[in-house]
Amino acid sequence: MKILVTGVNGQLGHDVVAELSVREISCKGVDISDFDLTNEAAVSEYIREYAPDAVVHCAAFTAVDKAEEAKELAFSVNVTGTENVARACKEISAKMVYISTDYVFPGEGETPYEVSDKQGPKGYYGYTKLMGEEKVKEYLTDYFIVRTAWVFGVNGNNFVKTMLRLGKEKPSLTVVCDQFGSPTYCPDLAFLLCDMVVTDRFGTYHATNEGFISWAEFATEIMQQAGLATKIIPVSSEEYASKAVRPKNSRLSKSSLDAAGFTRLPPWQDALARYMNELQ
């Protein structure tokens, strides 16, 4: 089997290539220097020449606040780019794995979202990711749509790295306490994606590490595991202004993984501990 991974310079793409390599599965990681996702001809030519059996599409415009202003760019990468990859996969009969997000849901209530629950993104980033899902379904039947949330990995920036940096600089930090979800460790998600891509158990899935918490609770655990005395001061979403509306409920049900026979990701506390070791 031969697999192409887009967005190799990002957090998840980096770890997917690493996991495929460990499994000795032939793979290639690509990023913007290899071809422009928004250029249909360039995408088609590259994928046709490499001729993978599957494409794991991790590349995306993920700057949630910036998407509210740079709408054209967010759309071109997340929707047009995804459409170009899906069309190219169809041309060569390749499977496709598309990484989506909890932001496709309205983020209301307290019940974990099932894959079949009604979508309704509140911000433009979520809208473009949902449109990306629709493009995948429009062109392909052999696809995996995997919605995840709160990702952190060794490659690139994330909440954990930000908290560790600020925790060394400041005695206290304000962190929102009314947005709930699950952190996702990229190597754990990459492990699942590599299990998935070699099967024909196509469909839409939710995948995060186990356990639901608030951002403030996550920050508190980060400080504890890092041995930092920084005090976390919980604040409401209303007190912490941002351009894009953040979902208060990012809880994702993993029943889709259970039904398909895939193993759930480990608890988030365990994942964070392994990440701390990796950073050291």
Confidence band for 38, pLDDT divided at 50, 70 and 90: very high
Give the ranges where the chain is alpha helix by DSSP (H): 11-22, 40-50, 64-67, 71-75, 81-91, 124-139, 159-169, 186-197, 215-226, 255-260, 268-279
- pLDDT at position 254 is 98
The overall pTM is greater than 0.85: yes
Tell whether the model's pLDDT for residue 243 goes beyond 90. no
Query: Whose CA is closest to 112, among 182, 177, 178?
Result: 182
- pLDDT at position 265 is 98
Confidence band for 144, pLDDT divided at 50, 70 and 90: very high
In this structure, of 178-182, 186-190, 242-246, 269-273, the range with the lowest mean pLDDT score is 242-246
Confidence band for 75, pLDDT divided at 50, 70 and 90: very high
**Which one of the listed residues 125, 127, 185, 205 is annotated catalytic?**
125
Is 143 part of the annotated catalytic residue set? no
Tell whether the model's pLDDT for residue 98 goes beyond 80. yes
Look at strands 203-206 and 143-148 and give their pairing.
parallel
Give ∠ CA 12-18-19 in degrees, rounded to 5.
90
Q: Please state the φ and ψ torsions of residue 140, each to the nearest 5 degrees.
A: -130, 155
- pLDDT at position 242 is 82
Confidence band for 178, pLDDT divided at 50, 70 and 90: very high
How many angstroms separate the Cα of 55 from the Cα of each of 13, 50, 89, 249, 257?
11, 11, 7, 30, 20
Tell whether the model's pLDDT for residue 164 goes beyond 90. yes
Label residues 130-165 b or e (16+ Cβ within 10 Å = b). Answer: bbbbebbeebbeebbbbbbbbbbbbebebbbbebbe
- pLDDT at position 280 is 85
CA–CA gap between residue 12 and residue 260 (Å, rounded): 22
User: Per the CATH hierarchy, to which homologous superfamily does domain 2-156+185-209+252-265 belong?
Assistant: NAD(P)-binding Rossmann-like Domain (3.40.50.720)
- Residue 258 burial (CB < 10 Å; 0-12/13-18/19+)? exposed
Domain boundaries, the chain: 2-156+185-209+252-265
